[in-house]
Chains A and B, each alone.
Chain A
Amino acid sequence: MSMREAKKVDVLLVGLGWTNSVVGMEIADSGLDILALERGPDRDTVPDFKAPQMLDELKYALRHELAQWPSIMTLTHRYKPGQKALPYRTIGSFIPANGVGGAGVHWNGNAWRAQPEEMKLRSYAEGKFGKAVFSEDITTQDYPMTYAELEPYFDYYERIMGIAGKAGNLNGKIVEGGNPFEGPRSKEYPTKAMQTLYNSETFGHAAKELGYHPFTMPSANMTESYTNPYGMQLGPCNYCGFCERFGCYNYSKASPQTCVLGALKQKPNFHYKANSEVLKIVLADDGKTVTGATVFDEQTQETYFQPADLVVLGTFALNNVHMMLYSGIGKPYDPQTGEGVVGKNYAYQIVGGAQLFFKDKNFNRFVGAGSASIAIDDFGTNNMDFGKLGFVGGAYIQSWNTNGQPIRNLPLPPGTPKWGKGWKEATGEWYNHSMSIAYHGSNQSYRDVYCDLDPVYKDRHGRPLMRLTYEFKPNDMKMAMHYQDAIDGIVKVLNPDHVGRGYKNMNTVYDLRAYQSTHNTGGTIIGDKPTNSVVNKYGQVWGVHNLFICGASLFPQNIQYNPTGMAVALALHTAAAIRDQYLKAPRELV
Chain B
Amino acid sequence: MKKVIKVIIALIILAIIVFGYLIYKNDKAIPAADAKHAVNPNPVSRYAIDKPKSNGEYIARAADCIACHTAKDGFPFAGGLALNSPFGAIYSTNITPDKATGIGNYSLEDFSNAVRKGVRKDGEALYPAMPYTAYRNMTDADIKALYDFFMNDVKPVHSPNQRNGVGFPFNQRWGLSLWQMVGLSSQKPADLGDKELNRGAYLAETLAHCGTCHTPRNLFFAEKGLDSSSADFISGAPLGDWYAPNVRKVAGQWTQQELAEYLATGRNDHTSAVADMSDAVNHSLQYLSDEDMTAMTKYLKYIADKNVPALDPAKTQATATLLTNAKDLSEGAQLYANNCMGCHFAAGQGAAKVFPKLDGNELVNAKNPYGLLHVILHGARLPSTIKAPAALAMPGFAGELSDEEAAALATFVRSSWNNNAPAATAADAAKARK
> Residues of A at under 8 Å CB distance from B?
44-47, 50-52, 224-225, 227, 230-236, 238, 240, 249-251, 258, 262-263, 265-266, 268
Contacts and interface: CB of A to CB of B under 8 A. Distances in A.
Interface stretch (B6-14, B229-237, B386-394, B420-428): B386-394
A45 B382 CA distance: 13
B353 A227 contact: yes
Could you tell me the dominant secondary structure of chain B's interface residues? loop
Interface residues of B, number: 29
B388 A233 contact: yes
Interface in B328-377: 338-339, 341-343, 345, 351-355
B355 A262 contact: no
Nearest to A259: B390
Given A232-B389, A265-B384, 5 more contacts: A45-B392, A46-B393, A231-B387, A232-B390, A251-B390
Given A51-B395, A225-B351, A250-B343, A266 B49 contact: yes
Contact of B392 (A233, A236, A263): A233
Contacts of B391: 262
**Which of B339, B381, B392, B393 counts the most A-chain CB atoms under 10 A from its CB?**
B392
A46 B381 contact: yes
B426 to A, nearest CB: 22
Interface of B: 47-50, 338-339, 341-343, 345, 351-355, 379, 381, 384, 386-395, 400
Contacts of B343: 235, 238, 250-251
Given A47-B395, A51-B395, A268 B379 contact: no
B388 A231 contact: yes
B331 to A, nearest CB: 17
Nearest to B47: A265
A251 B390 CA distance: 10
B49 A240 contact: no
Contacts of A262: 47, 384, 389-391
Contacts of B338: 52
Contact of A268 (B50, B341, B351, B353): B50
A250 B390 contact: no
Given A250-B342, A263-B389, A266-B49, A233 B353 contact: yes
B48 A268 contact: yes
Contacts of B342: 51, 238, 240, 249-250
Nearest to B379: A46
Contacts of B354: 225, 233-236, 251
Contacts of A251: 343, 354, 390, 392
A225 B343 CA distance: 11
A46 B394 contact: yes
**Which of B342, B352, B379, B393 counts the most A-chain CB atoms under 10 A from its CB?**
B342
29 contacts: A46-B379, A46-B381, A50-B395, A51-B339, A52-B338, A52-B339, A52-B400, A224-B351, A231-B388, A231-B390, A232-B390, A233-B388, A233-B392, A234-B354, A235-B351, A235-B354, A236-B354, A250-B343, A251-B354, A251-B390, A258-B390, A262-B47, A263-B390, A265-B47, A265-B384, A266-B47, A266-B384, A266-B389, A268-B50
Given A51-B395, A251-B392, A262-B384, A235 B47 contact: no
A227 B267 CA distance: 12
Contacts of B50: 268
B306 to A, nearest CB: 29
Contacts of B387: 231
Contacts of B47: 262, 265-266
B226 to A, nearest CB: 36
Nearest to B399: A53
**Which of A47, A230, A262 counts the most B-chain CB atoms under 10 A from its CB?**
A262
Contacts of A250: 342-343
Contacts of B353: 225, 227, 233
